[in-house]
Amino acid sequence: MIDQANRRDKVDGVKVGGHQASSASMVSILTALYFSVLRPEDRIAAKPHASPVFHAIQYLMGNQTREKLENFRGYGGAQSYPSRTKDVDDVDFSTGSVGLGVAITAFSSIIQDYIRTRKWAADRLEGRMIALVGDAELDEGNVYECLQEGWKHDLRNTWWVIDYNRQSLDGVVREGLYDRIETVFKAFGWDVITLKYGALQRAAFEEPGGETLRRWIDACPNQLYSALCYQGGAAWRKRLMDEIGDQGPVTALLERRSDDELAELMANLGGHCLPTLIDTFNSIRHDRPVAFIAYTIKGWGTPLAGHKDNHAGLMTEAQMEDFRRRMKVRDGYEWEPFEGLASSETELRDFLRKVPFFAKGRRRYSAPRISIPEGVITNPSPQGTVNSTQAAFGKILDDIAKSKTDFADRIVTTSPDVTVSTNLGPWVNRRHLFAPREVPDIFRDERIPSAQKWQFMPDGQHIELGIAEMNLFLMLAAAGLSHSLFGERLLPVGTLYDPFISRGLDALNYACYQDARFLLVATPSGVSLAPEGGAHQSIATPLIGMSQDGLASFEPAFTDELAIIMNWAFDYMQRDGEGDPSEKTWLRDETGGSVYLRLSTRQIEQPARKINPNFAEEVINGATWLKEPGPNAELIIAYQGTVATEAIKAAGMLGGMRRDIGVLSITSADRLNAGWQAAQRARARGQAGALSQIERMLALLPRHCHIITVIDGFPATLSWLGGVAGHPTVSLGVEHFGQTGTVADLYRHYGIDAESITEIAVNLTSGRRFAAPKLVAT
C-alpha cells in the first residue's frame, strides 16, 4: 500500500509518505489481537503509523475495498491514519494526534463503567478498551495526565500494548527508558507485562550457553541492537563471537545456526512472536489495567529493519521486488487477499468466518434519540431582573435535575476541578458524583455546614476530574461516542474556564474529528472577568468556536437566548451524523454536532422583548434585531455577548442625533457566518434564491450605512459582517492580553465601552466629534 502510494504521479510535487518501518513492527501484535484475542465488545485505538496494517486486516475481513487500498493516502482512499468519520473500515477510535488515541481508551473504560451501573444497560457485555501504542507516544504529557485520572477512578478493562521498538522519528530512544515506563505504570496501579523474548529465543536460552546469550541481549544498548538488526546475520555473528564467543557452549550455539538463522533468532523478540503474543494476551483473566511492553524491531522483516533513519524510509524498487519474492507473492497479484500463504483459500476463508472479533459484523451501535420534554428548559430570569448567563446555566441544569425524566437521567456532567465555580453545584447536589462504589460525604456526616453535598455513588451523574483540560475533552469525546461504542446514548455536558480551552485544544479538535457529541460550557469569558487579570481572561476563543469543525458555538448575552440555545443544543447533539457535513444542503443542520457556549459571570439586566414569532429561530441561526433599524439608517451597532450593555447604552446616547440606529444582537457569529458561506456555495451551484439570515437582515440597510461591531474577544470575530453587503465596518474588541481592574476600567481601556462606541459612531457619520472621558495612566 505504501509503495503504491509513493509511486503515483506527484502532480503537486508533495511527498506522499507513509510508515513502512512503523507498520512492520506492529504486524504480529495486530495479527495476534484481531485474529485470536479480541471479542466484538472490545474497542481498539490502533497506533497511527500502523494504519496500513489495520486497513489490510479490514480488507481481509471484507470491511475495506481494494480501490481504497490502492488509493491509500489519496483523495477518497484509505486514510493515512484510521478515522471514524473518513474511513469505511470498522474504526473504533480515530488516531493520528500522538497520545490522544492512547488516552481515550481509558476514558472510554470509565464511561463503560458509568453505563454498566445504569438500569438501562444491565445486560451489556463489558469489553476491553485497548490502545496500540508507539513507545515514542509515551513522551506526550497527556498520557500521564490520563494515568492519574484513571487511578482516581479505579480504571478497569484497559490494555495498552506498547510497541517498544526503541526508535522514534529522530533516532533511538535513551537507555533505561524501559525502567521508567515500568515504574510509572506500576505507580498508578497497572499490571506491567513484558514480552521481550520470542519462542525461538527462549528455546535457545535452554541450550548450553543460552544463559550467556540472554545476558548479552539484556545488556546490549538499544542503538547497537538496532544497528546489528540492520546489518544482518554476519554482523551478529562477528559481534557475538567477539564479545561472548570462544566459550565452548556459546560458540557451539552460534555455529549450529547459519547467518540467516542467527539473524532470525536475534530478531525473534516477544513483540514479533505470534505464539508468545497470543499466549500472553489470553492469559489475562482479570479486569485490572495492563501495560504490555512488547519488544520489537522497527522495520522488522524488511531491508529497513533497525536503521535509525527508517521512520519515513521507503524501500527502493529493487528492495520491493526482492521483498515480493521472499513473501512468495507473484508479480501482479499483490492485492489478492491470500496470495503467498501456504494454506488454501478455502481453509483461510473458513478460518476468517470464525474469528470471534468479526463474528457479529460491523460493531457500531445506534441508539434512539432522547426527547427533551417541553417546559423543562425555560428562561430563569424575567425581564427587568439582573442575572448572568453562567448563573442562568446553573439554574437551568438545576431545573432539569429536579425533573424525573429519561432526559435528565441521560445527562452526565464533568468538569476539571471547577464544578462549583462554573455553577454545576446545584446539579451535583441533586444528581451526585459518580463512583463505582459509594463514598460518604464526611463533611455532612460530621454535621459541618456546606453548600455542597459531595456524595459519590454508582448512580451519580457527575464525573469529577482533576484540573487537566486535556482529560476533560477526552472524557467528553468518550461520553460523546457512547451511543456508537456502547449502544447507550448519553448527553455529556462539560464545563471549564473559557481561557483554558486553549490548554486542551488538541483534544477538543480530536473529539470533534471523531464526531463525538457533547455540550461544552466555557465560563467566565473575556476581559469581563476583570479582577482576575490576563492569565484568566480569554481573547481568541470566539475565533476557535468559529473555526472548529463539528462544533457550533454561541455567545448569548441574555438568559432567554441561553434557554432557547440549550433546548436546541440537546437535540442537535443527537442528530444523525451520516455523511460529510461539508456537503449538507445550505442552511440546514442535517448532521448535528457538538455545541460550545461562551458564558459570562457579568450580571446584566434582562431586556423587554417586542413580540417576534421568529425570535427562537433567529437566536439559533445567529442573530436577531434588539432594535430594528429604520429605513434611512446611517449606523447599526452589532454586538456579541455581555457587551450588549455597552451597545445598548451607546445606541441610547446616539439616539438624539440618529433616529434610525439599529442594534443587532448576535448570538452566534459561527452559525451566522456558516449560513452566509453556505448560501454563497449554494448560489455558485445554481440555487439563485439561496439567501442567508445575515443577508436578509442587512438587506434592510442602505448601502451607505456603517456597521460598528463590538465583542469582548478578538474583533475579527465580527469584522466579516462588512463583506456581506459591502457596508463600511469598524470592528471593536480585545487584541492584547488583559489586566486587572474593574469591568468599566477594562472596557474603557480596550475601547469597547459605550463612550468609545459613541465617539467612533459620531466620527463616522458626521463631522461632529464626541469627546468621551478617557482613563489617564499615572
**CA 692 to chain CA mean position, Å:** 31
pLDDT tens-digit profile of 10-45?
777 788 888 888 889 999 999 999 999 999 999 999
Confidence band for 366, pLDDT divided at 50, 70 and 90: confident
Pull the grid cell for residue 423: 455553577
pLDDT at 321: 94
Judge whether residue 361 has pLDDT over 50.
yes
Q: Structure pTM?
A: 0.93
Q: List all residues 6 or more positions away from 330 whose beta carbon is below 8 Å from its beta carbon.
A: 339
Of 761, 731, 735, 739, which is closest to residue 649 (Cα–Cα)? 761
Query: DSSP readout, 435-460?
Result: -SS-B--HHHHTT---S----EETT-
**3-class DSSP state of 45:** strand
Judge whether residue 579 has pLDDT over 60.
no
Say how far apart CA 287 and CA 109 lie, in whole Å. 11
Weakest-pLDDT range from 146-150, 382-386, 579-583, 689-693: 579-583
Give the H/E segment covering residue 637.
Answer: strand 635-640
- The mean pLDDT value for 547-564 works out to 97
Terminal-to-terminal C-alpha distance of the chain: 68
Confidence band for 170, pLDDT divided at 50, 70 and 90: low
Say how far apart CA 398 and CA 428 lie, in whole Å. 9
More confident residue, 170 or 335: 335
Say how far apart CA 88 and CA 125 lie, in whole Å. 25
pLDDT tens-digit profile of 721-749?
999 999 999 999 999 998 899 999 999 99
Pull the grid cell for residue 446: 460530621
Judge whether residue 112 has pLDDT over 70.
yes
Single-letter residue type at 307? H
Confidence band for 171, pLDDT divided at 50, 70 and 90: low
Query: Does residue 591 contact residue 583 with C-beta atoms inside 8 Å?
Result: no
Single-letter residue type at 137? E
Of 711, 661, 712, which is closest to residue 720 (Cα–Cα)? 711
pLDDT at 585: 42
pLDDT at 160: 97
Query: Does residue 624 contact residue 554 with C-beta atoms inside 8 Å?
Result: no
Query: Does residue 246 contact residue 200 with C-beta atoms inside 8 Å?
Result: no
**3-class DSSP state of 697:** helix
pLDDT at 13: 77
Query: Does residue 94 contact residue 484 with C-beta atoms inside 8 Å?
Result: no
Pull the grid cell for residue 10: 506527484
pLDDT at 310: 78
pLDDT tens-digit profile of 618-660?
999 999 999 999 989 999 999 999 999 999 999 999 987 777 8
Confidence band for 607, pLDDT divided at 50, 70 and 90: very high
| Bridge partners, 553 (sequence order) | 596
Say how far apart CA 709 and CA 673 lie, in whole Å. 14
Q: Give percent helix, percent strand, percent coil of the chain, each to the nearest 5.
A: 45, 10, 45
pLDDT at 254: 94
Q: What's the mean pLDDT when you consider all of the chain?
A: 91
Distances (CA, A) of 310 to 22, 170, 681: 8, 10, 44
- The mean pLDDT value for 306-325 works out to 88
Pull the grid cell for residue 725: 453587503
Q: Helices 469-479 and 141-152: crossing angle, nearest 10°?
A: 70
Other residues' Cβ atoms within 10 Å of the Cβ of residue 758: 22
Judge whether residue 664 has pLDDT over 90.
yes
pLDDT at 589: 52
Say how far apart CA 234 and CA 251 lie, in whole Å. 14
pLDDT tens-digit profile of 283-303?
999 999 999 999 999 889 998
pLDDT at 176: 74
Judge whether residue 172 has pLDDT over 80.
no
pLDDT tens-digit profile of 426-461?
999 999 999 988 888 777 777 777 777 788 899 999
Confidence band for 778, pLDDT divided at 50, 70 and 90: very low
Give me the percent of the chain exceeding a pLDDT of 70. Answer: 95
pLDDT at 341: 92
pLDDT tens-digit profile of 371-423?
999 999 999 999 999 999 999 999 999 999 999 999 999 999 999 989 999 99
CA dihedral angle for residue 218, residue 220, residue 224, residue 226, rounded to 10 degrees? 0
**3-class DSSP state of 433:** strand
Judge whether residue 96 has pLDDT over 90.
no
Pull the grid cell for residue 406: 429519561
pLDDT at 438: 86
pLDDT at 168: 61
**3-class DSSP state of 529:** coil
Of 31, 69, 29, 75, which is closest to residue 52 (Cα–Cα)? 69
Phi, psi angles (nearest 5°) of residue 441:
-90, 100
Pull the grid cell for residue 281: 494476551
- Is there a cis peptide before residue 524, judged by omega within 30 degrees of 0? yes
**3-class DSSP state of 162:** strand
Single-letter residue type at 118? R
- The mean pLDDT value for 264-270 works out to 95
More confident residue, 770 or 341: 341
